[in-house]
Amino acid sequence: MSIVAGSTYKVELWVRSKTSFSLSVAFTSSDGTTVLAQSHLSVEASEEWSKRSVVVAATSTDHNARLALTSATRGVFWVDQVSALPTDTYKGHGFRKELATMIADLKPGFLRFPGGCYVEGQRMANAFRWRDSVGPYEERPGHYGDVWNYWTDDGFGYFEGLQLAEDLGTAPIWVFNNGVSHEQSVATELIGPFVQNVLDGIEFARGPVDSTWGAVRAEMGHPEPFQLQHVAVGNEDCNKPYYTSNYMEFYNAIKLKYPDIQIISNCDASIAPLDHPADLYDYHIYTNAKNLFAMRHQFDHSSRSGPKAFVSEYAVTGTDSGTGSLYAALAEAAFLIGIELNSDLVQMASYAPLFVNANDRRWNPDAIVFNSNQQYGTPSYWMQHFFKSSNGAHLIPSTVQADSSTSLASIITSAVRFHNASSGMEYLIVKAVNFGNTSLNVNLAVTGISASNIIPGESNIMVMTSSGVMDENSFTNPVKVAPQVSKATNAAPNMELVLPANSIVALELGLAPALSSRSESLTKFVDTFISTS
């Protein structure tokens, strides 16, 4: 574990002993020769377990430290449920500050949790069960995640997912087990207890403190209800036995008691209509870079009637991604621009997976890589920074004209009007992906505004590219592939732009107050026109 001089750590443990003794709680170097921090606990003789805690202040740093519990008293003592956490965590709720801040920096609109296949389990015995993941940590039994082959103590449980979403100021989306695992399915005539389990889970999140499960939430320190408005009925289960009939049992029960909750089906309605009601349908795609780039038009011709789309998992995988390449990020950005252009249908989208521990990789690639003391974003993480102003923005018509079919085939663009609530500024943001291996000079024409409507000092150009399309970030070079921002000194309604080979480019035009106040006319009359030369 990483111990840093000047930081404090709370060590908690359960202990019992037939004799009284003094327990030394220390952090030492990995070989045990150097004491980095130390404190003591007095333990009274008892046949019963007692919970003890102590805050330890570090005077030295070691990123590979270990926790040592020792006593100078001869005898036998038992310890259980030992934990050591920094006292300085994200908003005081136990989440590692640096990692949570990286999520917050993306300005997410939602948090989907606790996972996908993780929720199902390979077999039902190893599915995620929310009831076992709430309450005191020492009372959580934990479970074996047999899809990804690791044991979890469920320290990050249902409550923690809701809490993290609240701390991030974003909407929680709960993916619950619907009686389906990878290998097993519960028959519809037996699904009743699973339905009640989900209703209890919603009550835990939203119920009053005098309700059965609302009281449990209050005991955990959160008497106010969480703002749970979305639930997903399983993960990638559409074609598994009993899914549709079981889905209807969940749907009817939830809508009867919580009619405002938005219910997400696992079945894809982008090609054919669903045979059951849903507020949203789930869409997942993992593929190579060229295929995902080609899928930028995936939703162009999908039906606009029926449920909205939720692209809850997308990523470039395989050889094209490595452990997180620029090549992957380019294709993903193009796919997201396609989603942005279809935002009347696609309501939400999220890259997956979000995190990976560098010392225990079970999947490649991931957005954020970490170890005990370091973290970095892959190009796919940084790619999402180009879209963090898209949530709540207004889509502006955009047109691309190329001097050759080759140029046209490698470009996709979008334009949005974005209001920055904190600064009060209004921006016109034009994004483009050049998926080709040659740089392109383009002419940008914005109709409906004049030069006096643009503030050059509030206008920027953001570019992400690299010398090699397979370049990646690392602990030693965490921002090798990351957006570079510069002032758009030539900002004007008509201007030239360079789209470097294999790049994502965003032009952010700051708009004068007189124009930005005319939001309706801006949305209606402004058009962007890009041509290559």
Q: Bin 177: left if φ > 0, else alpha if -120 < ψ < 50, else beta.
A: beta
By DSSP bridging, strand 494-499 and strand 440-447 are antiparallel
Question: Of the candidates 377, 386, 305, which has an alpha carbon nearest to the alpha carbon of residue 344?
Answer: 305
The answer to whether the CB of 133 falls within 8 A of the CB of 154 is yes
The answer to whether the CB of 461 falls within 8 A of the CB of 506 is yes
Burial (CB < 10 A; 0-12, 13-18, 19+), residue 436, is middle
Question: Of the candidates 163, 157, 175, 154, which has an alpha carbon nearest to the alpha carbon of residue 263?
Answer: 175
User: How far, CA to CA in Å, does 23 sit from each of 39, 43, 57, 487?
Assistant: 9, 7, 16, 59
List the structure tokens of 36: 């980095």
List the structure tokens of 28: 């030492």
C-alpha 476/C-alpha 324 separation (Å) is: 15
C-alpha 288/C-alpha 147 separation (Å) is: 23
C-alpha 29/C-alpha 41 separation (Å) is: 21
The answer to whether the CB of 52 falls within 8 A of the CB of 83 is no
**236 included as an active-site residue:** yes
Q: What is the identity of the amino acid at 358?
A: A
DSSP character at residue 226 = P
Question: Which residues make beta-bridge pairs with 359?
Answer: none
Question: Of the candidates 355, 440, 348, 430, which has an alpha carbon nearest to the alpha carbon of residue 396?
Answer: 430
By DSSP bridging, strand 150-152 and strand 262-265 are unpaired
C-alpha 174/C-alpha 346 separation (Å) is: 19
The answer to whether the CB of 291 falls within 8 A of the CB of 334 is no
Burial (CB < 10 A; 0-12, 13-18, 19+), residue 175, is buried
By DSSP bridging, strand 150-152 and strand 375-377 are unpaired
Query: Which candidate in 12, 98, 166, 236 is catalytic?
Result: 236
Cα-Cα-Cα-Cα dihedral sign, residues 58, 60, 61, 67: negative
DSSP character at residue 213 = H
- Which active-site residues does the annotation give? 236
